[in-house]
Amino acid sequence: MQSLQHQKTEQVQQILQEAKIDCWLIWVRETSLIKDPVLPLIYDGDLVWPSALLYTRSGERVAIVGNFDAGGVPEGLFDRVIPYNEGISETLVAELTRIDPASIAINESLDDVAADGLTAGMKALLLQVLSGTPYVSRLVSASPVIGRLRGRKTPQEIERIEQAVGITESIFAELHEFLVVGQTELAIHRFVHERMEAHNVGDAWQANHNPAVDAGPNKAFGHLGPTETRTKEGQLLHLDFGVRFDGYCSDLQRMFFFGPPTRIPTEVAAAFDAVRGAIAAAADRVRPGALGHQVDSVARRFLSERGYAPFQHALGHQIGRAAHDGGTLLGPLWERYGDAPNGILESGNVFTLELYATTKHYGQVSLEEDIVVTGDGCRFLSHPQQKLLCVQRG
Amino acid sequence: MQSLQHQKTEQVQQILQEAKIDCWLIWVRETSLIKDPVLPLIYDGDLVWPSALLYTRSGERVAIVGNFDAGGVPEGLFDRVIPYNEGISETLVAELTRIDPASIAINESLDDVAADGLTAGMKALLLQVLSGTPYVSRLVSASPVIGRLRGRKTPQEIERIEQAVGITESIFAELHEFLVVGQTELAIHRFVHERMEAHNVGDAWQANHNPAVDAGPNKAFGHLGPTETRTKEGQLLHLDFGVRFDGYCSDLQRMFFFGPPTRIPTEVAAAFDAVRGAIAAAADRVRPGALGHQVDSVARRFLSERGYAPFQHALGHQIGRAAHDGGTLLGPLWERYGDAPNGILESGNVFTLELYATTKHYGQVSLEEDIVVTGDGCRFLSHPQQKLLCVQRG
């Protein structure tokens, strides 16, 4: 079987044709110090000296890399590997002159972090290298290329995410067995990490915030670490947890209740149903061609119609090699999300659906599921939480 | 004891005063997807939404971060943490207006990768946020700040690097016991990784190129992975190997010979002595105040006087949190090194000293040591290789 990098590389030409971009230039250096987030998708390795990876609309692929890096370029990713010694400028300008593209996409984006892997200094260096050529005025953002490339998961990528989701659900089930009243958030965090080790998976984000563990009503959910706070009879426990399996991430939230189902407070049950219902309603709206903010607004409306304050984040982000995989966002049109909620959903996109409703006495009720966009709707990669997971030991 | 991030944060004000910079702005987002390489030095965590970390010449430290990130900011790193909800612009402009700095350093650099963590899109976003204010024209490069901050290792940082070096040398000693004639590069690579696991250390760079393993004369050294090539009686074996211990890296090269010391070919012995001597001569030239290229040229001259072709890389790079830690480079004034070889050596800088000499029949002889610049010279963190490590089993 082809490597994932080869599979993703095969997608590039079609995407350049759709985006009407003649040439895509990935321009990087010292990638072990700072790595363009698109690189792992199409190049499995590090590049030390300034390097130019060129992909053309006609399907040509050329790598210009330092002489020490040249031998490490994997077979089959490029038609030609051109090593250089003292400086790259001459070779890069010569190749661009030969290709003579009307547009050159570079990895710069205001809104899309995943398409913003070019650093400011490397951009300035590129402008120096190209100064006096016509190409300096032909630079465009590679965001439409990278958004599609990251977003259009291949069947193998979806399979890996689905496996990550499955392992996450297994660990939640193991945690359900482990939980008793009176454990600290820190002990729960530790248990989950032991299980991750047993399942041989990594963290989808920073280990000390993964899982986020929130016991009881007194913590605003967010990117917080676990504390000495203990689980308590009659209270909720919330986890936000993702694993990395074979390079791909899951991202799920689950809610536990300490007590029998008959003791679940009415306002908690109502909030849970509102959140679960909002996720289901949003999933119903997901289909290729929908805009990100349209899906977000379905969930937002569902919640506000039931009298809940709006949730202060986007309904869903893409997941893939990163837990926040960039591209189209299922989010509101707020300044901090830029243009990402205007993106168009495509088949093969994998999104989270996540939101919370705030109760008066029990804190937030928050759930998160993972879905893949299909030809005519979506398919859940996770098994949506249908009721609070009750813990009656303690 | 203070955390390393607190210790490094303490260095910032003094550095801003020396560099005559009023304010340093670290401007990042989604740092788990792409991370400014300076961030781990002064902030132990991830920031999701656009975030501004401000350090002033008068010693003030302010973090403006998204509301979900605010709770995760470690105690003591900042005087104030200002959370925001929908957009950061207003708060950032207000804080800058209050501070009113004559210069604002941002993480953009043509030459210094470690000081080039600002992405092109984030820079454009910053220019948007600041447009219409006087601050848009007060931006300067933070390279003088970051170069000093990374380069001036605290005693604790030097201790960690020294421990990484010690473990690397232990693994080389274990490898010496393990080696026999006829092993493949891949088997040697595997053994080293088993030992790394036993010592509980990570890779200083990409695992499949660490260590670089070069058996016999037929491979140009570089960033290559191990192959099926086998060690052979009468031939050399070269390793380039670094570990990461407690966040800090080592980087060493060692040479083995398969046969008794009496059988070492004259040209190999001569090349080994030339390389070893060039490293010693260069180390003699190291002292605070020397320029990077001055040290490089000592080694280069030493080698050329003995009739060897020039080595095609810099003599030494800094090591620290990264194996290539940026800042001043002990390198020649070549295009691809930009201004880095013009940097001034400072006490507390940790450098590699590495070079090769090419033999006619046995390939390259290459060594690498690690040193720390002291008040009046340098101290070796490694035990410089004094003779070829002979292997007589097979």
Q: Which of B64, B92, B113, B253 to mutate to test the interface with A (most CBs of A within 10 A)?
A: B113
Distance from CA of B261 to the nearest CA of A (A): 31
In chain B, residues with a C-beta closer than 8 Å to the C-beta of A185 are: none
Going by the DSSP 8-state scheme, the letter that residue A261 receives in this structure is G
B224 and A118 within 8 Å at the Cβ level: the answer is no
- Residue B206: what pLDDT? 84
Q: Write down the pLDDT at residue A222.
A: 57
Beta bridge partners of A139: A104
Alpha carbon distance A122, B77 (integer Å): 30
Mutation target to probe the B interface, by most B beta carbons within 10 A, among A111, A209, A336 is A336
ipTM here: 0.82
pLDDT of residue A200: 93
A48–B108 CB contact, under 8 Å: no
Asked if the bond preceding A211 is cis, omega within 30° of 0, the reply is yes
Number of C-beta neighbours around residue B339 at 10 A: 15
Contact present, A58 and A77 (Cβ < 8 Å): no
Torsion, Cα of B97, B100, B102, B106 (10° steps): -60
Contact B115 A107 (CB under 8 A): no
B121/A106 touch (CB, cutoff 8 Å), yes or no: no
Instruction: Please compute the mean of the pLDDT values over residues B65-69 and round it to a whole number.
Output: 89
| pLDDT range class, residue B237, cuts 50, 70, 90 | very high
Cβ contact B256:B225 at 8 Å: no
pLDDT per position as a tens digit, B351-387: 999 999 999 999 999 999 999 999 999 999 999 999 9
- Tell if the CB–CB gap between B113 and A30 is shorter than 8 Å: yes
β-bridge mates for residue A357, sequence order: A365
Nearest CA in chain A to B28: A113
State the first-to-last Cα distance of chain B, in angstroms, to the nearest integer: 50
Q: pLDDT-derived band of residue B62, with 50, 70 and 90 as boundaries?
A: very high
Banded model confidence at residue B336, pLDDT cuts 50, 70, 90: confident
Name residue, tokens 């002889």. B365
Which of A36, A86, A115 is the closest to B336 by Cβ?
A86
How far is residue B68's CA from residue B85's CA, in Å, rounded to a whole number?
A: 9
Measure the CA–CA gap between A71 and B223, rounded to whole angstroms: 7
Tell me: the pLDDT tens digits for B304-322? 999 999 999 999 999 999 9
How far is C-alpha A34 from the geometric centre of its chain's CA atoms? Answer: 18
**Contact between B73 and B63 (Cβ < 8 Å):** yes
Neighbours of A23 (CB within 10 A): 25
Specify the range with the lowest mean pLDDT, choosing from A69-78, A241-250, B122-131, B244-253: A69-78
Lookup result for tokens 């801003």: B16
Per-residue model confidence (pLDDT) at position B223: 54
A108 contacts B124? CB cut-off 8 A: yes
Contacts of A70 in chain B (CB under 8 A): 222
Q: Among residues B358, B285, B348, which one has the least CA distance to residue B151?
A: B348
DSSP lists the bridge partners of residue A106 as: A141
User: B191: how many CB neighbours lie within 10 A of its CB?
Assistant: 18
Rounded distance between C-alpha atoms, residue A271 and residue A288, angstroms: 30
Q: Quote the tokens at residue B256.
A: 């083995």
Give the count of Cβ contacts less than 8 A between chain A and B: 182
Higher pLDDT, A262 or B111: A262
Low-confidence ranges of chain A (pLDDT < 50): none
Instruction: In whole angstroms, give the CA distance from residue A316 to residue A314.
Output: 6
**Mind telling me how many Å the CA of A285 is from chain B's nearest CA?**
25
Q: Is B66's CB within 8 Å of A115's CB?
A: no
Q: Do B206 and A32 touch (CB under 8 A)?
A: yes
Which candidate in B5, B27, B33, B221 is best for mutational testing of the A interface (most A CBs within 10 A)?
A: B33
Q: How many CA atoms lie within 13 A of A33 on its CB side?
A: 28
What's the confidence (pLDDT) of residue B349?
98
Taking residues B290-311, report their average pLDDT: 97
Is residue A237 within 8 A of residue A231, CB to CB? The reply is yes
Integer Cα distance of B363 and B356 in angstroms: 10
Least CA distance to A67: which residue of chain B? B222
C-alpha to C-alpha distance for A203 and A192, rounded to whole angstroms: 11
Nearest CA-CA partner of B136 in B98, B91, B99, B96: B96
Q: Can you tell me the distance from the alpha carbon of B158 to that of B351, in angstroms, rounded to the nearest whole number?
A: 11
Distance from first CA to last CA of chain A, Å, rounded? Answer: 50
**CA of A261 vs chain B CAs: smallest distance (Å):** 31
Name the 3-class secondary structure at A342: helix
Domains with residue ranges and CATH for chain B: 4-150 (3.40.350.10), 153-391 (3.90.230.10)
**What share of chain B in percent tops pLDDT 70?**
98
CA-nearest residue to A124 within chain B is B110
What count of other Cβ atoms lies within 10 Å of the Cβ of residue B200?
A: 9
Three-class SS of residue B305? helix
pLDDT at B338: 85
Cα dihedral B266/B269/B275/B278 (nearest 10): -80
Rounded to whole angstroms, how far apart are CA atoms A65 and A21?
A: 23
Rg (Cα) of chain B, in Å, rounded? 23
Range B170-175, long-range pairs (CB < 8 A, 24+ positions):
B170/B199, B171/B195, B171/B196, B171/B199, B171/B241, B171/B243, B172/B239, B172/B241, B172/B252, B172/B254, B172/B389, B175/B239
CB-nearest partner of A50 from B114, B119, B336: B336
Handedness of CA B301, B305, B310, B313 (dihedral sign): negative
d(CA A142, CA A36): 12
Q: Considering only CB atoms, which chain A residues are within 8 Å of B335?
A: 86-87, 89
Phi, psi torsion values for A198, nearest 5 degrees: -60, -35
Q: Which residue has the tokens 């893409």?
A: A318
Read off the tokens for A222. Answer: 């967010």
Residue-averaged pLDDT of chain B:
95
Sheet of A202-203: strands edge to edge?
A: A202-203, A243-245, A248-249
pLDDT in the model for residue B72:
84
- The closest CB to that of A119, out of B33, B48, B116, belongs to B116
Q: Quick check: B29 and A313 CB within 8 A?
A: no
Residues A323 and A251 sit within 8 Å (Cβ to Cβ)? yes
Whole-model pTM: value is 0.84
